[in-house]
């Protein structure tokens, strides 16, 4: 059901680099006056420029250097401890370049949202743009989905797409897909604040109020 409470939705956003998707969410949230609180931005890369941007915008910014952890479960545990300080309704993976363990994902299942730079189930994992060009597809894009223990296979909430042209390089295609991401992820985040995204008993994502889960650039 659509949420009618005055309670603000609390988000924690995970990044690994400049966090352009994170920035777009924060800016759109402010400009459109969402009932939401971006409680913290956390990065596994202490040199991520997105942390500085978050700090400059008065958002709690935390770094956990994943390269200093020899134990993957320990990193996940410490990350979970940081997240839990903010009691978020949702955790958004916005360019978070680290695979999270099964226990972590199961703990937050239904709250953990990722954006992946391909039209899943096509091209899971890395090198999506080069794989798209090499395969000869004419359409490419991004997918926002609930995170499941299986990599890049959770229930799909929304997708955005763009054409692939014969003259495209990995760089030009990546830039255009990023523009699509900047439309899709903030839209999904807004739907979440309205209580208009849910999982049914078959673990399929349901979007209420007839929102269109497909975007084109």
The catalytically annotated residue of 116, 145, 182, 190 is: 116
pTM: 0.94
Q: Give the domain extent around 89.
A: 6-108
- DSSP letters, the chain, are ------PPEEEEEEESSS-HHHHHHHHHHHHTT-SEEEEEEEES-TT-HHHHHHHHTT-EEEE--GGG-S-HHHHHHHHHHHHHTT--SEEEESS--SPPPHHHHHHTTTTEEEEESS-TTSS-SS-HHHHHHHHT-SEEEEEEEE--SSTT-SPEEEEEEEE--TT--HHHHHHHHHHHHHHHHHHHHHHHHTT-EEE-TTS-EEE-TT---EEE-
Q: Which of 84, 108, 132 is the last residue of a domain?
A: 108
Residues in binding site: 19-21, 72, 97-100, 114
Is residue 138 located within the same domain as residue 217? yes
59 plus 129 within the same structural domain? no
Are 81 and 55 part of one and the same domain?
A: yes
Task: Verify that 133 and 93 share a domain, yes or no.
Answer: no
Residues 75 and 137 in one domain: no
The per-residue pLDDT string of the chain (217 residues; one tens digit each, 9 = 90 and over) reads 445 456 899 999 999 999 999 999 999 999 999 999 999 999 999 999 999 999 999 999 999 999 999 999 999 999 999 999 999 999 999 999 999 999 999 999 999 999 999 999 999 999 999 999 999 999 999 999 999 999 999 999 999 999 999 999 999 999 999 999 999 999 999 999 999 999 999 999 999 987 888 999 8
Active-site annotation holds for 211: no
């Amino acid at each position: 059901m659509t949420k009618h409470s005055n309670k603000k939705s609390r988000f924690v956003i995970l990044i690994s680099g400049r966090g352009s998707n994170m920035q777009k969410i924060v800016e759109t949230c402010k400009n459109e006056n969402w009932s939401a609180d971006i409680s913290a931005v956390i990065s596994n890369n202490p040199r991520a420029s997105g942390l500085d941007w978050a700090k400059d915008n008065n958002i709690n910014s935390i770094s956990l250097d994943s390269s200093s952890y020899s134990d993957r479960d320990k990193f996940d545990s410490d990350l979970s401890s940081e997240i839990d300080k903010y009691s978020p309704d949702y955790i958004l993976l916005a360019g978070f370049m680290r695979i999270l363990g099964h226990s972590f994902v199961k703990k937050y299942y239904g709250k953990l949202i990722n954006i992946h730079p391909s039209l899943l189930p096509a091209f899971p994992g890395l090198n999506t743009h080069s794989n798209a060009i090499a395969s000869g597809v004419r359409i490419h894009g991004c997918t926002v989905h609930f995170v499941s223990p299986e990599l890049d296979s959770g229930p799909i909430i929304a997708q955005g797409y763009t054409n692939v042209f014969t003259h495209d390089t990995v760089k030009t295609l990546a830039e255009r897909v990023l523009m699509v991401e900047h439309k899709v992820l903030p839209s999904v985040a807004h739907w979440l604040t309205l209580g208009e995204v849910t999982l049914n008993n078959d673990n399929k994502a349901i979007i209420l109020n007839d929102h269109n889960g497909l975007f084109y650039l």
